[in-house]
Amino acid sequence: MNFISSITIAYILFVLLDFSWIFMNFDYYMTLCRKIQKEPFVVKIPPIILAYIILFIAFYIYITHILFIIKDNNTYNKYGIAIIYGLLFGLVIYGTYSLTSCIYYKNYTYYDAFKDTLWGMILMSITGVIFMKLYKK
């Protein structure tokens, strides 16, 4: 599969997995939201779309970075690289968001930050491996 098809499918799976995570933890997030803002949660579609566009940019940088490393050194395991860099990339993106939430919101705990960051690390790793499985030069 070519690069465009591979990254498109991997990113669609990224979004679907992320939405699945959110829906599986929906009650938890709604309780957390009520604790933080003292009001019911209201879905705002434009910020969701913008956030996932920005996440696509980050995902693209992550994928092209792993490909650059693999291209320059064929001795590395491409799946291992996808996992390691996925963990690091997820740590940076989701960790920054989560720890910033700890700063702004009194009721956003370190546990909440840890849980969300760990999910981001796993999500980036899984979708990086999926991309590597799909992409054939």
Which residues contact residue 63 at a Cβ distance below 8 angstroms, ignoring those fewer than 6 apart?
7, 10, 128, 131
Burial 24-36 (b: 16+ CB within 10 A, else e): eeeeebeebbeeb
Residue 76's pLDDT is: 72
Range of the domain at 71: 3-134
Residue 101: is its pLDDT beyond 80?
yes
Residue 68's pLDDT is: 82
Nearest Cα neighbor of 90 from 129, 125, 52, 121 is: 121
pTM check: above 0.75: yes
Which residues contact residue 26 at a Cβ distance below 8 angstroms, ignoring those fewer than 6 apart?
none
| Number of domains composing the chain | 1
Name the token pair of 54: 């920005």
Rounded to 10 deg, the angle between the 78-104 and 45-72 helix axes is 140
Is the distance from CB of 120 to CB of 95 less than 8 angstroms? yes
Q: How confident is the model at residue 69 (pLDDT cuts 50, 70, 90)?
A: confident
C-alpha span between 72 and 47 (Å, rounded): 38
Residue 66's pLDDT is: 86
